[in-house]
Amino acid sequence: DAGVIQSPRHEVTEMGQEVTLRCKPISGHNSLFWYRQTMMRGLELLIYFNNNVPIDDSGMPEDRFSAKMPNASFSTLKIQPSEPRDSAVYFCASSFLGPNTGELFFGEGSRLTVL
Amino acid sequence: KQEVTQIPAALSVPEGENLVLNCSFTDSAIYNLQWFRQDPGKGLTSLLLIQSSQREQTSGRLNASLDKSSGRSTLYIAASQPGDSATYLCAATGNQFYFGTGTSLTVIP
């Protein structure tokens, strides 16, 4: 299995620009998670999908952030407009059946720098 | 809300030493406890998953134990090697995966 695939691996953009991060979960997994990791705040859950439906988006910082999962094999996390404080590593992770039974697998992450 | 704590935040040991990493959680009503390893600039790699009905799991030099009643899990690393240097995170699972802040391990040759 190819594992969780994220793109781009690195993104440098200027404040105010739109950023789109992409994720392909492991085939057969029905739960998908977006996390943000910084030195100051550690690993934070942004949003969690189950069967393509958002279950918990309480971690999404503000309206500038949005996430979609149009089908079982693709998800996007969009930041518009981006700000320097959004600079972080964004991880996508997937699981079969979700947190109550499944093992969580991470992608390599997308490192975002907003200037 | 579930809170997961990992102490110490950093640990430095000489090569060959056996060591224990600790993970504590506040709500014992968890489904699983999962241990991860993270190398600098990389994603999290799953090491061991202990389901709630289990007490421990082993993989090579790694052994993880789970005591739900006391809200604790430990990761035991035998005969540590420089290649074990990384950050180790634990996650307790309930409605979502609740992560600790990790223990940064350095194994000195």
User: Residue B31 has what pLDDT?
Assistant: 84
Average pLDDT, stretch A11-30?
Answer: 96
CA A60 to chain centre: 10
User: Residue B11 has what pLDDT?
Assistant: 95
Do residues B3 and A42 make contact, with C-beta atoms less than 8 angstroms apart? no
User: Residue A1 has what pLDDT?
Assistant: 62
Residue A114 clears pLDDT 90, i.e. is over it: yes
User: Residue A98 has what pLDDT?
Assistant: 61
| Residue from B88, B96, B101 to probe the interface with A (highest A Cβ count within 10 Å) | B96
What is the Cα–Cα distance from B103 to A83, expressed in whole angstroms?
30
pLDDT tens-place string over residues A38-79: 988 889 999 999 999 999 999 998 899 999 999 999 999 999
| Residue from B88, B93, B104 to probe the interface with A (highest A Cβ count within 10 Å) | B93
- Kindly give, in sequence order, each residue whose CB lies less than 8 Å from that of residue B70, ignoring residues fewer than 6 positions away: none
Region of poorest pLDDT, from A34-38, A58-62, A98-102, B70-74: A98-102
